[in-house]
Structure 1
Amino acid sequence: MFGKLLGALALAAATVASAQAQPVKVGVVTTLSGPAATLGQQLRDGFALGIEKLGGKLGGMPVDATVLDDELKPDVAVTKVRGLLESGKADIVVGPIFSNILQAIFKPVTESGAILISPNAGPSTYAGRACAKNFFVTSYQNDQPHAVSGQYAQDSGYKRLFLLAPNYQAGRDALAGVKSKFKGEIVGEEYVPLTQMDFQSEIAKIAAAKPDAVYAFMPGGLGIALVKQYRQAGLANIPFLSAFTVDESTLPAQGDAAIGFYSGASWAPNMDNAANKTFVAAFEAKYGYVPGSYAAYAYDTAMLLDAAVKKAGGVADKAKLAAAIETADFASTRGAFKFGVNHYPVQDFYLVQVVKRADGKYQTETRKKVFTADIDPYAAQCKMN
């Protein structure tokens, strides 16, 4: 339970079932070990804040939440998730951060009959032919945030791009997203291990290639290392485009090295709607740091589930609950929100830029809407049955 595993969240009271109602059992799968732990912390904190704002309930029912650290290891994630499912402790699984972990737990969760909702990972794998009735994504399809930079590079008249990403599903989706919109020359395309922290070899290749711009998808610790080394190498004259490389999870460590760098996103802390203002203010007051998209989408997931559980009259009938989730009748931090036929969001995307706030903290802010009500490129392949 949140209260047991995460005492700082003070949710013990929210996770105790009352005599009148059975609890909604939720497994939260996230990365809380290693360089990527800052991302997992955001997901955990965003979801926990949502449950707290809802009075410790979903749809009026008490919540029994168990947090699992997947350690960014697919085999560990599968073992822990299977244990949770076999013990009957999950009506709903929320998570994870990384697409390779999602690919590992997808079958165990969906075949168990539980609802699986990803507040971050959105691989192409399950957006098309492998879509499932009890699987939902509240963030994006992986290609989409990266396509923002591809479109921006195209619109800006750049002719030559150098691309960087980790060597896993989301990395391949990321660069596919950029290339789907950018029609110029790709002068370099490098895939690195998810554990890489030294980018001197890649930086040397960038310097030699002399591209018009660099595009990098490097989440968590990879992004911290790359941005610092990029600045130190004196390459700031080459425009730096990205997604999840310079965001609220990495900016505290990147500091001034990230100022001015661009990214693609469907959310930023400065978005002007009531739900988002409430979320950002409450998050910073409780946790003392600026929330990123990982936290915002997890908070949205809690609000979505509250509306769906209420509409379905509980969680016993999973088909009824899935149908209620499909309607997405809640106030999102992004404003307008709805699911497409494949249970991935149809939403707007923006070019955002890193700024330093008056209080010395860093955040991204929207600069330009690039796509309106964007539907991911795999949705047409989904035949939900």
Structure 2
Amino acid sequence: MTVTLVPRSLRRRGFTQAATRTRAVMAVLGAMAAAALLPAPVFAADAAPLKIGFIGTLSGPGGALGQDQYDALMLAVEQKGGKLGGVPVQIVREDDQLKPDLALQEAQQLISRDGVKIITGVTFSNVMMAIHKPVTSAGVVLIGSNAGPTQLAGAGCSPLFFSTSWNNDELHEAGGQLVTNLGYKRVYVMAPNYQAGRDAVSGFKRDYRGSIVDEVYTQVNQPDYSAELSQLQAAQPDAVYVFYPGGMGVNFVKQYRQAGLLGKIPLISVSTIDGTTLPALKELAVGAITSAPYSPDLQNPQNAQFVAAFTKKYGRVPSMYAAQSYDAATLLDTALTAVKGNVSDSKALRRALAGAKFQSVRGPFSFDANQFPRAGFYRVDVVRTANGASFEAKGPIVPKVNNPIAQQCKMN
């Protein structure tokens, strides 16, 4: 209410108390009339956007993986009109350069400097292991869209950590099942010597029902595999199973082809020939078989619109890294809608994420007890097309009914 104060000098000139009250009433009515002519305030628009942190490997040999994660996230935000869950969002991007120490600094800055309550992305497992505990201990929700260290799917799980990808063992358990289905009895296994590489071999051996001729670990980002390929050829395995993400995969497959081995010794891989590396490999990769959580030709409505939109905007076909990040954005959109954009209560946000129902580009999707997905894996072949080379999904690999790692997860 407006109160009008009348100076003593005016009261001495004959202003009565009644006149003063009349002026006060008129002032209030005038203010109300003026306010009626103004548009009603839109609090959501006036409020600062909700900041969401993104950490990914955006440079170096693995940079294409993180770029696909980031591009898919931004595509989802763009499709929602700059919003997720009906609230405006600002994505604060950080490039970890595949350096765990740097990633930890960036995560701490996102929390202390930018005040984020949600961080997503994370490309490599050694980076995820560096930031997982500090982020979740700070009460910040962490949604991984690629890196899935096996420890975090079991005893090291956290109520504030969700994944839209897979745990490392699970990804390669599907690879082991595929190689078993193909009937190869003696297999040579290769991977880079870091967390995800060791998890890859462990997971593969769990579901492969043949004999391992040898398991070889190479340096991360090693450019030359000639010595290892000579040893491989001398071992004369029935097939080769490899895990070499990003630029490592490009180098390995090129050298495998140049050595005359592709087409001679079957090559089965995970995260080696994918949407980020096929543009560089082209016909050199034709004939390889992959085990993958995603293929751009999967037949479901959500994937069809995603592939069309991603290809139109970025001029390339989305990889599994893009698909998983798009799913993370859709998950966030659903959960933020449920909490009306209020992220101050991390427990309420966690419940909304755990119970979110959304359409995944990968097909049927739900969370297991460890907050990793129950989702399928597919045999995806590299085939020759009129445009050079492309992926062709050959059907699902039989999934495991029970995930023993998830049973080790005891949520607080």
TM tier, shorter chain?
A: over 0.9
Assess, with a 3 A threshold, how the Cα gap between structure 1 residues 377 and 242 changes in structure 2: closer, same or farther.
Answer: farther
Structure 1 residue 316 displacement after superposition: 1.7
Question: Distance in 1 between the 2:311 and 2:225 partners?
Answer: 33
- Aligned partner letter, 1:320: A
1:227 and 2:253 matched: yes
The equivalent of 2:355 in structure 1 is 327
Question: Distance in 2 between the 1:58 and 1:177 partners?
Answer: 35
Contact 1:248 1:363 in 2 (8 A): no
What is the SS of the residue equivalent to 2:326? helix
> Which of 233, 246, 253 is the equivalent residue of 2:280?
253
Contact 2:144 2:163 in 1 (8 A): yes
1:121 and 2:159 matched: no
1:178 and 2:241 matched: no
Structure 1 residue 201 displacement after superposition: 1.1
**Superposition map of 1:8-27 within 5 A:** 19-27=45-53
Superposed CA offset, 1:89-130 (max 9, x none): 311100200000000111121011111000001111110111
What is the SS of the residue equivalent to 1:365? strand
Runs (5+) with no aligned partner, structure 1: 1-16
Give 1 or 2 for the bigger CA radius of gyration: 2
**Superposition map of 1:78-89 within 5 A:** 78-89=104-115
The equivalent of 1:137 in structure 2 is 163
Assess, with a 3 A threshold, how the Cα gap between structure 1 residues 296 and 375 changes in structure 2: closer, same or farther.
Answer: farther
- Aligned partner letter, 2:156: A
1:211 and 2:211 matched: no
Question: Distance in 2 between the 1:322 and 1:294 partners?
Answer: 23
1:101 and 2:124 matched: no
Number of residue pairs the alignment of both structures matches: 368
Structure 1 residue 361 displacement after superposition: 5.7
TM-score (norm 1): 0.93
Superposed CA offset, 1:43-79 (max 9, x none): 1101111111111111111001111000000111111
The equivalent of 2:193 in structure 1 is 167
Structure 1 residue 228 displacement after superposition: 0.5
Assess, with a 3 A threshold, how the Cα gap between structure 1 residues 76 and 375 changes in structure 2: closer, same or farther.
Answer: farther
Superposed CA offset, 1:293-335 (max 9, x none): 0001101111110000111222121111111111231111012
TM-score (norm 2): 0.87
Question: Distance in 2 between the 1:47 and 1:376 partners?
Answer: 28
Structure 1 residue 362 displacement after superposition: 3.9
Runs (5+) with no aligned partner, structure 2: 1-42
Question: Distance in 2 between the 1:328 and 1:375 partners?
Answer: 22
What is the SS of the residue equivalent to 1:49? helix
Contact 1:248 1:362 in 2 (8 A): no
The equivalent of 1:285 in structure 2 is 312
Question: Distance in 2 between the 1:357 and 1:289 partners?
Answer: 16
The equivalent of 2:216 in structure 1 is 190
- Aligned partner letter, 1:57: K
Contact 1:26 1:89 in 2 (8 A): no
Structure 1 residue 22 displacement after superposition: 4.2
**Superposition map of 1:366-381 within 5 A:** 366-372=393-399, 375-381=402-408
Contact 2:382 2:390 in 1 (8 A): yes
Contact 1:160 1:187 in 2 (8 A): yes
- Aligned partner letter, 1:336: P
1:111 and 2:137 matched: yes
Assess, with a 3 A threshold, how the Cα gap between structure 1 residues 197 and 275 changes in structure 2: closer, same or farther.
Answer: same
Structure 1 residue 40 displacement after superposition: 1.0
- Aligned partner letter, 1:264: S
Assess, with a 3 A threshold, how the Cα gap between structure 1 residues 373 and 152 changes in structure 2: closer, same or farther.
Answer: closer
Question: Distance in 2 between the 1:362 and 1:121 partners?
Answer: 27
Superposed CA offset, 1:364-383 (max 9, x none): 22112112475543100001
Contact 2:70 2:121 in 1 (8 A): no
Superposed CA offset, 1:160-209 (max 9, x none): 11000111111111111111111222111111111201000110111010
Contact 1:165 1:191 in 2 (8 A): yes
Assess, with a 3 A threshold, how the Cα gap between structure 1 residues 283 and 382 changes in structure 2: closer, same or farther.
Answer: same
Contact 2:187 2:237 in 1 (8 A): yes
What is the SS of the residue equivalent to 1:62? strand
Q: Which moved more, 1:327-336 or 1:69-78?
A: 327-336
The equivalent of 1:151 in structure 2 is 177
What is the SS of the residue equivalent to 1:355? strand
Contact 1:91 1:114 in 2 (8 A): yes
**Superposition map of 1:289-368 within 5 A:** 289-314=316-341, 315-358=343-386, 360=387, 362-368=389-395
- Aligned partner letter, 2:411: M
Assess, with a 3 A threshold, how the Cα gap between structure 1 residues 199 and 293 changes in structure 2: closer, same or farther.
Answer: same
Contact 1:151 1:181 in 2 (8 A): yes
